[in-house]
Amino acid sequence: MRSILPKLYVCHARGDREKFLPDFTRQCMRRGLVANLERWEMGASDSLVDRIFEEVMKDAGAFVIVLSKQSVNMKWLGEDLDFSSIRRIGDRLIPVAIEACEIPFALRNLKCETISESHHEFMERIERTLSLHISTQHVPVEDNGHSIAGLDRISARVLELSCDAALESGSRFIRPAELPMKEDGLLFSAEELDDALEILDRDEYIRLFSSFGSGHFHFHITLKGFEAYAQECIPDFREKVQRIGCAAYATRNSQDLAIELGEPQLLVDHVLENLEHHGYLKLARLKDGPAVIYDISPELLTRSTGFARTRSAPFIGISS
């Protein structure tokens, strides 16, 4: 048996999508709610009441109603939502004004949220409301990827898929369009992928590059990003770091080192760059060629060979 958070429905006019949804989705991702999020873009002739009671009322935990100068004049808010419907929906209805506008008459007895810089009170109310409508079901627990400390599930999965692609291609430059949108049953919408990339860029796991200011053209996985992935997702990564550090004394060429150890070139290059970053060695990077390893710290040899002999030496992996 597992407790399941019900669905969170966000109802908005088309013109309010960019004003509200990107930041709200990021807030949901940080709180682990994005998997429960459903977005309803309401047209001028749509009926909010019909959609709620005919389609989703049984599985819904909260309805966030986005109020704006545009939406309050549309049928689905101005005419469709009456006192009787609001009583039936009950505490699941959460209106939020994203700009100064006239509150529909039927909603005036409800607490209307406004967007502050932190969203804290608004998001707390949503979480409380969802928790009141938790259901308990027999649900198989699925592993949709590895957990990476400091990241929500979708951002961690996007980073994992990106690094998997980098290992396969041999390059840490990734085009978002090349990432699978569906993996292990977890579906990423284009908007969710964009939000995850923004979070990863903000926290320096990747560096985003845009094409003429419109959309993400490609991104580069940073040293921090690949290290976070490697420590959680690559089997026996600690041992691999020790082996690479030890072998670097005899093999002073990154390409020969990868061949000798039978490891992907990108992984070997990453470990060497990390060791250089922390002062264990230096690299001379040749144009269109392998890196030359030199000036290796005696401490690296001591720790690497100690690990190889006893498997008890401290891990020489890199933290950010």
Q: What is the DSSP string of 92-136?
A: GEEEEESSS-PPPGGGTTSPPEE--SS-HHHHHHHHHHHHTT-EE
H/E run at residue 272? helix 265-277
What is the mean pLDDT of the segment spanning 227-248?
90
278 — phi, psi (to 5°)? -100, 15
Rounded Cα distance, 52 and 75, in Å:
15
What is the mean pLDDT of the segment spanning 209-235?
81
213: left (phi over 0), alpha (psi -120 to 50) or beta: left
pLDDT over 90 (residue 262): no
pLDDT over 70 (residue 3): no
pLDDT over 70 (residue 277): yes
Measure CA of the first residue to CA of the last residue in the chain; give whole Å: 38
CA 212 vs CA 31, 68, 179, 191, 311: distances in Å = 33, 31, 21, 19, 51
pLDDT over 80 (residue 210): no
pLDDT tens for 117-163 read 567 888 888 888 888 877 544 333 344 456 787 888 889 989 999 99
- The whole-number pLDDT of residue 35 equals 63
pLDDT band at 215 (very low <50, low <70, confident <90, very high): low
pTM reported for the whole predicted model: 0.52
Exposed e or buried b per residue across 185-199, where buried means at least 16 C-beta atoms within 10 angstroms of its C-beta: ebebeeebbbbbbbb
pLDDT over 80 (residue 34): no
Rounded Cα distance, 283 and 294, in Å:
6
Q: Domains of the chain by range and CATH?
A: 2-137 (3.40.50.10140), 153-226 (1.10.10.10), 235-310 (1.10.10.10)
Rounded Cα distance, 109 and 105, in Å:
8
pLDDT over 50 (residue 31): yes
- The whole-number pLDDT of residue 11 equals 92
pLDDT tens for 56-111 read 787 788 899 999 999 998 888 877 788 888 888 888 899 999 988 988 888 888 88
Bigger pLDDT: 67 vs 309? 67
The alpha-carbon radius of gyration of the chain (Å, integer) is: 25
